[in-house]
Amino acid sequence: MNPPLINLHRDGDLVWLITTGVAGRITGRVQAYQTFDPLLTIEWNDGTRETLYSNNIITLGPFQSVSALEAAISEGSNPVVELGSMKGFQGFRITVNYDGEPRDLNLTGSSHRAFFLEVVWPVVRDSFSDVHFIRRKHKTKKGDEGVDAVMASAEVDAEIKR
C-alpha cells in the first residue's frame, strides 16, 4: 500500500496554514509531549518562522505548490465527500495520478474543512459533474443510515453550504 500523498509532515514539505491560507515549508519538529501532535517549525514564504502543532496545517507532500495539487485533483477520479450527522465536514478522498500510479489523496476530520472549502472543493466542483456524496445520520431508527449516493456537484455544493 502506498503512503498518503499529503499530511505526512516531513521536513521540507510545503505546508498550508489552514486559518490564513499562507504557504511555507517545514524546517523542524519537536515532539513536546508523547500524547500531543508534534510541534512543527515552519518558515513562511515571507521569511518569518513560527512553531505550530501539526493539526493546524496541511502538508502538500510531493506537490510543489497549491496549483500543482489543484491540477492533480482536477485530473483525478472517484471524488468522495463525506459530511457528518450535523453536516460538519468529515472527509474527502480522490484517486490522483502521481508518478504514473493511481494514489489516494485523503483529507479527514473537521480541522481540514477550511482547506477543503477554499482550495479543494472549487476544483472538484468545476472538474466533476458528479461526486459521490456521503452524509451520515444519527441512527434513530433501524435502517436510517443517511445518504450515500452519486449526486451532481451543484447538489453536493448545496449540502456542504447548509
Mean pLDDT, the chain cut into blocks of 10 residues (162 residues total) = 66 75 84 74 90 80 84 94 79 89 84 82 92 74 62 74 64
Per-residue pLDDT at 70:
92
Q: Is there a domain that residue 24 lies in?
A: yes
Residues 28 and 71 in one domain: no
Q: What is the pLDDT of residues 87-99, one digit of tens each?
A: 678 889 999 988 8
Per-residue pLDDT at 76:
94
In degrees, rounded to 5, the angle at the alpha carbon of residue 113 between the alpha carbons of residues 15 and 86 is: 160
Per-residue pLDDT at 156:
76
User: What is the radius of gyration, based on Cα positions, of the chain?
Assistant: 17
Q: Shortest CA distance to 54 belongs to which of 3, 96, 83, 13?
A: 13
Dihedral sign for Cα atoms in the order 87, 122, 112, 135: positive
d(CA 30, CA 37): 9
Q: Is there a domain that residue 43 lies in?
A: yes
What total number of domains does the chain contain? 2
Per-residue pLDDT at 124:
94
Per-residue pLDDT at 150:
75
Q: Is there a domain that residue 121 lies in?
A: yes
Residues 48 and 71 in one domain: no
Residues 75 and 150 in one domain: yes
Joined grid coordinates for residue 145 = 443510515
Domain carrying residue 70: 66-160
Per-residue pLDDT at 116:
86
Residues 113 and 131 in one domain: yes
Residues 26 and 94 in one domain: no
pTM as predicted: 0.75
* Contact present, 6 and 105 (Cβ < 8 Å): yes
In degrees, rounded to 5, the angle at the alpha carbon of residue 158 between the alpha carbons of residues 153 and 159 is: 95
Q: Is there a domain that residue 3 lies in?
A: no
Answer with the one of 23, 44, 59 that is the final residue of a domain: 59
Residue with cell 504557504: 23
Residues 46 and 95 in one domain: no
Q: What is the pLDDT of residues 37-49, one digit of tens each?
A: 778 899 998 899 9
Residues 45 and 70 in one domain: no
